[in-house]
Each structure stands twice: as C-alpha cells, then as structure tokens.
C-alpha cells in the first residue's frame, strides 16, 4: 500500500462533522506515527510520508465532491496504481462503531468516492469504511453527514477508528486479507462482549416463568398425608353415617 487517503471537507466548520470520519482516521495515524502533514499547493492537499513504510498520507483540501483531483495528481506523479491506494471514508450503511475494509465495488452515492473513481478511471482502489449511521430518510442525508455526531456516536466511531489503526501495519505491509480478518473479527468480538445485548431468539416482552422449587421426599410425604386427611373429612361430611347391622 503506497497511498492512504482520508476523505472530508476542509475548514473548521466541518472538522467535527460525520462526513470527516476519513480525515479523523488519517489525522490519528499521522499523530501516532509522528508523521507531519504539510499543505502542498501542487497536490492541493495536506501531504506526509509515513516513515516506516514509505507510504504517502493525503488529506485533500478541496471539498468532498472534488476529492479525486489531489488523489489522481499524487498517484500519477509517484506512479501509484489504484490497487495500491486505500481511501478512508464515512459509511452511511454501517452503524457507528463499525469499520470494514474492502476493494472495489459500488460507491453508494458517496461524492468523494465518485470523484476519485472518475479521476482514476477505476473502482479497484481499497476502501476503509467507517460507519456513521443513517438518518433513515434519503432526503435527510446531506444535512445528516454535515452535522456533528452525538457524544455516544462519536465515542463509537473513535473506537472503530482505533481498531482500524491497529490493523493498518498489516495493510501497509500488503497483507490486506490478514487486516480484514483481524478487523472484522475484532468487531464481532466487541459486539459479543457488549453488556445487556439481548439474545436474538428472545421475543420482546417475553418474561420467563420462575421454576418451581424442587420438593424434598419428606415434603412430598407430608403433602400426601394432608391430602388423604382432607379427603377423609369431606367424605364424613357429605356421606351418611352407617348404623349397626340389624339381626335377622
């Protein structure tokens, strides 16, 4: 992997919005690896070189729908093929807390991916998809992605980014299959360990009946004796008492 791109919108008014999840990942990667990102007018982006791997880190400084130009310019200058590029971006189809890696595929209406695919002439670059959730209505998507996530959503997104950063050394080493396996396994393990998660087999509102306590042998004998005595009392009450037998 020779180029890692984070997608977002430049400017302070956008830096904390959902659409900038790709920026958040690359910025954290740069901070953790002490990679300096400098504004490069030629590439219209913030650019840095990851020291241990030699990969380039890129944050386009155009708006989202023009993200492809900086990617195409740097890739062309350094002879980087689409399959050697990883693009980190926000993903509406995943809930906050989910991060997945894949290569190629559709762009699902994402304007940044749309421009990158058009500029590169290929969908074969890799994607690191960071879940931000969906507003539930297509008409609300534009406002949704340009708003800040709730504190709980932001915490879940940050946790997903942290898991993604753990597997990036595998990505940079070219072991994409290993990275995918590790990242997706970590996610499933995290879901399984969340407290209070209901069993999918349980029906909503179903309350289990308490089990009857086990009876001891002594208790069972006592109950039988009591039932026998009660039955005898009832018979004496409702049946006529038999008199002495008459002599013939």
Provide the pLDDT confidence category of residue 201 given band limits of 50, 70 and 90: very low
Calculate the alpha carbon distances from 4 to 17, 22, 42, 90, 222 in Å: 21, 10, 18, 15, 79
Domain spans of the chain? 3-193
pTM for this model (two decimals): 0.75
Asked whether residue 108 carries a pLDDT value surpassing 90, the answer given is no
Say whether pLDDT at 93 is over 50. Answer: yes
Which of the four pLDDT bands, split at 50, 70 and 90, describes residue 10?
very high
What is the rounded CA–CA span in Å between residue 47 and residue 177?
27
Whether 218 has a pLDDT exceeding 70, the answer reads no
Q: What percent of the chain has pLDDT over 70?
A: 76
The sign one gets for the Cα dihedral 15, 42, 110, 101 is negative
pLDDT of 228? 52
Q: Is 184 a catalytic residue?
A: no
3-193: CATH topology is: Rossmann fold (3.40.50)
Catalytic residue among 19, 50, 89, 110: 19
* CA angle, 8 then 14 then 20, to 5°: 30
pLDDT for res 233? 55
Q: Stretch 70-96: mean pLDDT, rounded? A: 97
- The mean of the pLDDT values for the chain is 83
């Amino acid at each position: 992997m020779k180029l890692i791109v984070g997608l977002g919108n430049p400017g302070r008014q956008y830096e904390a919005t959902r659409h900038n999840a790709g920026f958040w990942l690359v910025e954290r990667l740069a901070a953790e690896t002490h990679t300096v990102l400098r504004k490069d007018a030629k590439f219209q982006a913030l650019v840095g070189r990851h020291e241990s791997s030699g990969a380039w880190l890129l944050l386009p400084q155009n708006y989202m729908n023009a993200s492809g130009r900086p990617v195409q310019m740097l890739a062309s200058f350094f002879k980087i093929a689409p399959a050697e590029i990883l693009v980190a971006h926000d993903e509406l189809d995943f809930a906050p807390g989910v991060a997945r890696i894949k290569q190629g595929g559709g762009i699902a209406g994402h304007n940044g991916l749309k421009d990158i695919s058009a500029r590169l002439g290929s969908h074969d670059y890799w994607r690191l998809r960071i879940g931000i959730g969906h507003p539930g209505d297509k008409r609300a998507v534009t406002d949704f992605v340009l708003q800040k996530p709730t504190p709980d959503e932001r915490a879940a997104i940050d946790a997903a980014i942290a898991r993604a950063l753990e597997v990036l050394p595998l990505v940079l080493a070219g072991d994409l299959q290993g990275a995918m396996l590790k990242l997706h396994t970590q996610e499933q393990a995290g879901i399984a360990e969340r407290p209070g998660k209901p069993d999918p087999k349980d029906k909503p509102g179903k309350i289990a009946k308490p089990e009857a306590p086990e009876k001891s042998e002594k208790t069972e004998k006592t109950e039988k004796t009591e039932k026998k005595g009660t039955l005898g009392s009832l018979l004496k009450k409702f049946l006529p008492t038999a008199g002495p037998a008459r002599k013939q």
